[in-house]
Amino acid sequence: MQCLTNDEMEEYITDNHLSEKQLVASHIATCLRCRTLYQTQLEEQIRWSQELFEEVLPDSFTTNIMDLIEHEEIELAAIENTFVTDTVAHRKSLFKKRRSGYWKVMIGVATLLIIMGSVLMYTVPTLAEKLRSLFGQDSGVDIGLLRAQEFGLIEHPNIMVKDKGYTIKIDEAVGDPTRVIIALQLFGPDGKHDRKRLKFYPTNKINVKDDKGKIVGELYDMGITNDFYYMVAFFAEPLQTDRITIEGRISQLGSKMKNIQYFQGNWNFDFTIDMKEANKKTTITPLNSSYTTPDGMTVRLKRLTRMVQGIRLELDTELSEEALIRSPGEMWKQQDLKFHFEDMQGNEIHTVNTRKIPNKDSVMAETHLPDDKPGLMHWSYTFKYLPQDNPYTFVFDGYSVSERDDASIVFEPSKLKKHPVPFYADGDEIMLKDFTIVSPPNANGEEVEGALHLDGRLWNEVAYNYDQWTLTIPDGQEYTVSMRGSSTTKGSGWKDGYIILGGGGSGLFEFRAPGMTIIPDRLELRRTILNRLYTNVDWSVQMKEDKQP
């Protein structure tokens, strides 16, 4: 599809009944030029709407209109009386008076037209309301929302709950098997939107229930815009229900972080979203491709499920018996996959777990569920967008899995500041630079900690939850360390790049050893579990989905 002109983009934004709107939306999502033009046009429409429309009528509006109408009625009556009492002898004089009255009537009519125009502008701000919605400037609009709009799936629940001078208002909501989004606003006693006072979890919650009353999701604030609370819930498994209920239980306003005093109230609400039309738009494309890596992981693509607001890829991975020996017990369950999608010209569409910068990442939800059979894992990824009518390519870039390790080094902590010590193992390069004792409140917990300061770069993955390092005093106590500090990625290709530990303005990375109260003469740093990265893979699959119903 060719890029849109300025006029075509304006028509796309303002005309809900434009033919081929879905095709245009898909083009905008993948075209940088048209996305830029789209945002520019939205900004222009918003500026016009803000000048033309007001959200609240001024207090004097009704009084002024009634005074004007009453004034015109009196003036018209006076003109009629003058016309009846004048005689033929005064025809010339009457004509002059009539001309004067005629212009007064015309002025009155014009005034009334202006008044009625003002009424229309105040009472029917359709465009302005739309642009201050989920589809407004900087509101997080994406291809999924545009598709939902095209299919007429935007709900208007008209929720307005008032208590203690504060009002919760919900004008827009959309749901499909992929996700639910609602635009929630909180207005204070002054009528202005308050973006800081409403906090969720644990006190306030908005749950999603299926047609059997089961909670299937909880909405959270993505914080995309200051215009409203952008509440969203993603579903890792596509919902299978004809109706969902949005159940808001809000009983407290305030914020400790913003130093806003708490107070209690009742702003509960419920409304339903019909899912039947969204369900009709769901298609499933079976996939029957598999590949086995040199180090014993088999990957099987299973299916693509296209929904209104997202596309879900399902696949399985299975480790060989030899690979399971390297990942005994529960260790094999700690895995990650790396892959990307390309169009037929080799241009990037989406990436998953890449170190390449820049990259395009649109994963909305992800699951990896271990099977009862050791080594077998079930995966799903839900993306905002994939081409619907054109073929594209899935490219497998690698994977990581936790394995046993025994790399170690012995060093003298007190000498590190003047004489840093390198730690090289399995492609990872770390430089040990200092060792200190840290007390609360600078410690991670309530006890004193030993802190090993370091920087460097890692080829293998960092897994804060299941990488395992220890610091051991020779012939003494062993400490399991935790990680603290910042890390960044640096890479230019799909399979290269490193994780950079510390550096920049964030200082050195740290390994913390809770309970270590003195700096010992010697320490041993040992890595017992490694989240090993494999990129020695070579597999791609061309995909072409079934037609949308």
Q: In the Cβ-directed half-sphere of 499, how many Cα atoms lie within 13 Å? A: 18
| Phi, psi (rounded to 5 degrees) for 497 | 100, 165
Q: Are 437 and 516 in contact (CB under 8 A)?
A: yes
Taking the whole predicted model, whether its pTM rises above 0.85 is answered as no
The residues, any chain, with a CB within 8 Å of residue 62's CB and separated by 6 or more, are none
Angle between helices 91-123 and 61-85 (to 10 degrees): 160
Q: Within its chain, how far is the Cα of 85 from the centroid?
A: 75
Distance CA(316)–CA(213), nearest Å, equals 31
Q: Is the pLDDT of residue 80 over 60?
A: no
Residue 346: pLDDT band (50, 70, 90) is very high
Examine the pLDDT at 100 and tell me if it is beyond 90: no
Structure-block tokens of residue 360: 């395009």
pLDDT in tens, 194-252: 988 999 888 999 999 999 999 999 999 988 788 889 999 998 889 999 999 999 999 99
d(C-alpha 26, C-alpha 368), whole Å: 29
- HSE, CB side, 13 Å, CA atoms: give it for residue 240: 2
- Confidence at residue 126, expressed as pLDDT on a 0 to 100 scale: 37
Provide the pLDDT for residue 105: 47
Average pLDDT of the residues in 401-418: 96
Give per-residue pLDDT as tens, 370-401: 999 999 999 999 998 899 889 999 999 999 99
Helix, strand, coil shares of the chain, percent, nearest 5, are: 25, 40, 35
133-177: pLDDT as tens digits: 677 656 667 778 888 888 899 999 999 999 999 999 999 999 999
- The Cα 358–Cα 363 span in angstroms is 16
What span, in angstroms and rounded, lies between the C-alpha atoms of 24 and 17?
A: 13
Give the integer Cα–Cα distance in Å for 210 and 244: 5
Residue 548: the pLDDT is 55
Share above pLDDT 90 across residues of the chain, in percent, rounded to a whole number: 56
Query: Are 170 and 252 within 8 A, CB to CB?
Result: no
**Which pLDDT tens digit goes with each residue over 272-328?**
999 999 999 999 899 999 999 999 999 999 999 999 989 999 999 999 999 999 999
Whether the CB-CB separation of 409 and 524 falls below 8 Å is answered with yes
457: its two tokens: 């770069």
Q: Is the peptide bond before 177 cis (omega within 30 degrees of 0)?
A: no
Residue 368, pLDDT above cutoff 50: yes
| One-letter amino acid of 105 | V
Residue 204, token pair as written in the block:
């306030």
pLDDT at 330 over 50: yes
Rounded CA gap, 471 and 513, in Å?
7
User: Residue 136 class from Cβ within 10 Å (0-12 exposed, 13-18 middle, 19+ buried)?
Assistant: buried
pLDDT the model gives residue 504: 66
Residue 404 clears pLDDT 80, i.e. is over it = yes
Residue 544 has a pLDDT of 85
pLDDT above 70 (res 354): yes
CA dist., res. 53 & res. 118, Å (int): 9
**pLDDT score, position 150:** 85
Least confident of 61-75, 253-267, 428-442: 61-75
To the nearest 10°, the Cα dihedral for 241, 243, 249, 254?
90
What architecture is the 139-279 domain classified under in CATH? Answer: Sandwich (2.60)
Q: What are phi and psi of 448, to 5 degrees?
A: -65, 150
Output the average pLDDT for the chain.
82
| pLDDT computed for residue 44 by the predictor | 60
Instruction: Quote the percentage of the chain above a pLDDT of 70.
Output: 75
Tell me, what's the pLDDT at 1?
61
* pLDDT reported for residue 227: 82
For the chain, the domains span 61-123, 139-279, 283-549
Angle, CA 237 vertex, CA 235 and CA 241 arms, to 5°: 85
